[in-house]
A = this chain, B = another copy of it.
């Protein structure tokens, strides 16, 4: 039912949240090819989620969709409480616990990733399944997160795990440092 009741605030209802995406105005500089973050991809991700839900018989509810939209539009890791705030409108608060449940769903189906070192969430930029592993490049300066994969890393990891007799279930690889764009900015200072 509430499909249509959502749309009028799904993308803009949260009035002027004082723009903490301070990089928004300045980061057009870098070009390492994987930086198609942000709103442009949000629609794609939602579409993928809808296909996936249909295929697996899952309920892609309004809350889950709005949560995914918020995460996808940001392009930068968002905490659960940040998401809750963005989803809330005056008179209609969304509690963080609801967001956690939505995020559980989304991570379980590979639509968003959790950044363990930040306790925050980013949209999944690949079509990979939940089982496949990703490498997250987290920039200290601009806060952007880039997601890549590497068969080579995966292979060497597998080899190490096999040698240790360890059966992996999930893998976390998070690199913190400076992205290409911010290195350029650092030199300019």
Contacts and interface: CB of A to CB of B under 8 A. Distances in A.
Interface of A: 29-30, 32, 34, 116-117, 135, 137, 139-140, 146, 148, 150, 152-153, 155-157, 159-161, 163-180, 183
B30 A174 contact: no
B153 A160 contact: yes
28 contacts: A32-B163, A32-B165, A34-B164, A135-B157, A135-B160, A137-B161, A137-B164, A139-B166, A140-B169, A146-B166, A150-B159, A150-B160, A152-B156, A153-B153, A153-B156, A153-B157, A155-B156, A157-B173, A161-B175, A166-B177, A166-B179, A166-B180, A167-B183, A168-B177, A170-B175, A171-B174, A171-B176, A173-B173
SS class of chain A's interface: helix, strand, loop or mixed?
mixed
A176 B167 contact: no
Given A153-B153, A156-B156, A157-B153, A164 B177 contact: no
Contacts of A34: 164
Given A139-B166, A153-B153, 9 more contacts: A30-B163, A32-B165, A164-B180, A165-B179, A166-B177, A166-B178, A168-B175, A172-B175, A172-B176
A177 B170 contact: yes
A148 to B, nearest CB: 6
